[in-house]
Structure 1
Amino acid sequence: MNKLMTSPRRLAQRLLSPLRKPKADAWLEALPAFAVPAAAIEVLPDPSAFRRALLQQIAQATRRIVIVTLYLQDDEGGREVLDALYAAKARHPALQISVFVDWHRAQRGLIGKQKSEGNAGMYREYARRLGPGVAIYGVPVQNRELFGVLHLKGFVIDDAVLYSGASLNDVYLERHGRYRLDRYHLLQHRGLADAMADFVQRSFVESDAVRRLNVPDVPATRTLQAPIREFRQALQQARYDVASDVAGPADVTVTPLLGFGRSDNQLNDTLLALLRSTRERVILLTPYFNLPRPVRIVLGQLLRRGCTIDIMVGDKTSNDFYIPPGQPFKTIGLLPYLYENNLRRFARAHRRQIDSGQLNIHLWRDGDNSYHLKGLFVDDDMAVLTGNNLNPRAWALDLENGLLLRDPARLLHARHQAEWVALKRHATRLSDHLALESPRHYPAEVRKQLKRLNRTRLDRLVNRLL
């Protein structure tokens, strides 16, 4: 009887599920977009090229610089960027410079280090020494960092958009011989740049929750509870203001997408529609193998339809939370092992498709460097540039964005193919789940902590939050 009573509701939920939205192609076609000449889109090959392009664009700026990133760190790389920003302001006093970082991340020290005032201390020291010409704002997406951060990406410099999932510090900028690999694209288009800068002005600068960090008196988070609540509500309705350009034969259409919250999330809905629209092949990049359930379901549907799927993920030793044996263990060091366990289960469940070559899982590793790539390639004519890690946290908690590139003439195909080939130089195809290290061989402290998590089922909660 209970099943009969709840059947209509369960049927409605299935019909309304984002996984069952019909006509994925129509969804994508309805999205407005900027027509960007393919010649104005450049794929940068590595972190050094990203660093050079960033500093060059800052040096050339005359009107505006809008930098949005998770953090601008107090190290040589971060100081190099701040030095460049203040130098640009000195050359052009009318230049408007705004930097937006996560409110919570900016005001704490590194995980596992002693308590400090964080990167905000550096921001205030620069302002005292060089003046207020560079405005640095903290963006509190949630009341606590654990429940969501500013994960929006994209640097707008005059009419250029430099887009990457990278933050700004030594390792992201490849200083001192180590790097954290991401993806890097430079798009020259005034309309796109205006849309991304205008969104920041409307949604961030005009919010009472977003406050300057490089000033003497920074309010405590507890005093901002009501503004933060209003800010979250506004973000759930926010969108980029996108034109409906008509693309010419030499153009690629680019749609900036915003993602925040579990429902009515434009970025999530578009990612699912894009995956469902696949005709032949998907390439998925993620740094932490912890796919949201809707993505896992759609990938299973694609495999049953006969599509080929390539997934590239970092080897656990290439994870930025990995702690090498011999170094003092911290709880955060469990994460790479949790992600490897997720990958093992996924590979075991799809071993037949791995054997046939329909599913290819590539493990990236290059010495002691780390892997931070994310994004999608669908068939040969659509791609997503994003900072979204394609994990449950990005899906529901963090403020994310992305750029959808539709390229029916395949003008960018050679560039994307070259990017994929370069990535595979440091990757090994996983032959089966047994090729991954057995949990029995994990360090003793890792085995102990994982057993405790499994016993209390806290591993599920950790997978949802991190």
Structure 2
Amino acid sequence: MRLIRHLSPLEQIPGIPLQAEQVRTLLSAAEYRQALMNAIAQARHRIYLCSLYLQNDEAGAQVMAALYAAKARRPAIDIVVLVDWHRAQRGLIGEARVPGKVAGNAAWYQELSRLQAEQIPVYGVPVQTRELFGVLHLKGFVIDDTVIYSGASINNVYLHQQDKYRHDRYLLIDNAMLATTMVNFIRRHLLSASAVHRLDKPDISPTGNLRHEIREFRAQLKKARYQFDAGYSESQSGLSVTPLVGVGKNNPLNRVICQLFAVSRHQITICTPYFNFPLAVTREINRALKRGVRVDIIVGDKTANDFFIDPAQPFKVISALPYLYEMNLRRFVKVHQADIVREQLGVHLWCEGENTYHLKGIWADQRYALMTGNNLNPRAFRLDLENALLIRDPALELQQQWSAELSSIRQHTKTILHYREIQEIGDYPEQVRRLLARLSTIRLDRLAYRVL
């Protein structure tokens, strides 16, 4: 590719041309569920679902039933489901495992396979030898020529199947080149790997027997890229989308995230569910503030964190995580109190009843938007296999959609004007205080920030 020197690094990245009418932004989990189910029901050629997990609950069962129905209608249709290898073979956090028995969602996939005449392959993708050190965090469903992109996995709360929902972002793009690019990546780099195995079949190999294959697989993933034919030229200055992927330190996706902050001159909006920026992101935010860029950060309140447990309920160690993130946020706001007073920095906490917050993404200077499952935390930057869609909109053709989405998100936010509005450790429940003090003493809180 010939680089054009007067263009910014982001403008030199090849993109797939888009028309504004090909892009649709949804604003709710219920709307997303309906769009997904409609797309599966109307599918004619291919359905590729890639998710951290597909849960054995009402929403998961509805999706699997729709996939089997699609296969029955059109036996030649190409249907593939990919989930994280480790996450699929364990129960929910805190759930005891029965020795010698297939655990978690994998047992359910196998039961469905035994009961159904048609086959829906469910592949487990092991990004690392242990879940703690890396998972499949690729996002994006491809149904025929439509990409349905969200940070959401498949279960009751993500799809708002019952009373509660986990709010995410939801984007539909009707574009054959983008859809085929994402399917080709799955085929070339995931399905062909010796470390990737079906979970809907019995006799699953123990992870310990696959350690060599998994290490080789991770090494190959570090070199994997989305490939498409559209090049970049000076005349290609319209609406476009670029799929990005990365795993490990200093990967291409991480670099583009930092470039988004670096090229901004007017305004940046960031969504993240867990306030725990990597050092590289914190540096770029600080530099942007020094340049005079307006920065808005929308983060979930600790009570909107998916790990939060009401203090009246039995205590679990994992429930201390939202408090760790809040401590981080309080320190950040205290350091940047002057920027808040100057109205150059806005920090907004999302909270809406008992619902939870899972939004990720970046908007920069009304020209760029990043749709991603990347949590913008050290784990995402170092451990997990992540992807994203970078949208460039020089003619502001999608501004109405972007503004509507941000207005919908901000509807349930509270703006922090002073760091003292955020609780400190002395305000936390006693068991949380004791645990956080113990972690801090042995510096395990730093490890938690890196891997959770």
TM-score normalised by length of structure 1: 0.93
After superposing the two structures, state which structure 1 stretch, 345-354 or 438-447, moved more: 438-447
- Select which of 145, 149, 155 maps to 2:135: 149
2:78 is aligned with 1:96: yes
| Alpha-carbon separation, structure 1, partners of 2:365 and 2:450 | 30
2:256 is aligned with 1:274: no
User: Post-superposition shift, 1:244?
Assistant: 2.2
User: Post-superposition shift, 1:24?
Assistant: 10
Indicate if the aligned counterparts of 1:143 and 1:225 stay in contact, CA closer than 8 A. Answer: yes
User: Which residue of 2 is the match for residue 50 of structure 1?
Assistant: 32
More helix by share: 1
User: Which residue of 2 is the match for residue 197 of structure 1?
Assistant: 183
Give the 5 Å matches for 1:11-410: 26-115=8-97, 117-244=103-230, 252-263=239-250, 265-410=251-396
| Alpha-carbon separation, structure 1, partners of 2:378 and 2:280 | 10
User: Post-superposition shift, 1:245?
Assistant: 5.2
Question: Residue 292 of structure 1 aligns to which amino acid in structure 2?
Answer: P
Indicate if the aligned counterparts of 1:33 and 1:243 stay in contact, CA closer than 8 A. Answer: no
User: Post-superposition shift, 1:315?
Assistant: 0.2
User: Post-superposition shift, 1:437?
Assistant: 1.5
TM-score normalised by length of structure 2: 0.96
Indicate if the aligned counterparts of 1:34 and 1:254 stay in contact, CA closer than 8 A. Answer: yes
Question: Residue 121 of structure 1 aligns to which amino acid in structure 2?
Answer: A
- Distance of aligned partners of 1:356 and 1:24 in 2 relative to their CA distance in 1, 3 Å threshold: farther
Aligned residues: 443
Gaps of 5+ in 2: none
Gaps of 5+ in 1: 1-22
Secondary structure class of the residue paired with 1:338: helix
After superposing the two structures, state which structure 1 stretch, 327-336 or 29-38, moved more: 29-38
Identity between Structure 1 and Structure 2 (%): 49
| Alpha-carbon separation, structure 2, partners of 1:24 and 1:174 | 47
User: Post-superposition shift, 1:252?
Assistant: 1.7
Secondary structure class of the residue paired with 1:237: coil
| Alpha-carbon separation, structure 2, partners of 1:398 and 1:24 | 34
User: Post-superposition shift, 1:26?
Assistant: 2.8
Root-mean-square deviation (Å): 1.4
Secondary structure class of the residue paired with 2:80: strand
Indicate if the aligned counterparts of 1:38 and 1:251 stay in contact, CA closer than 8 A. Answer: no
User: Post-superposition shift, 1:362?
Assistant: 0.3
Question: Residue 28 of structure 2 aligns to which amino acid in structure 1?
Answer: D
- Select which of 409, 427, 443 maps to 1:457: 443
| Alpha-carbon separation, structure 2, partners of 1:361 and 1:172 | 25
Indicate if the aligned counterparts of 1:279 and 1:379 stay in contact, CA closer than 8 A. Answer: yes
* Segments of 4+ moved more than 6 angstroms: 246-250
Indicate if the aligned counterparts of 1:35 and 1:245 stay in contact, CA closer than 8 A. Answer: no
| Alpha-carbon separation, structure 2, partners of 1:355 and 1:243 | 48
Question: Residue 245 of structure 2 aligns to which amino acid in structure 1?
Answer: L
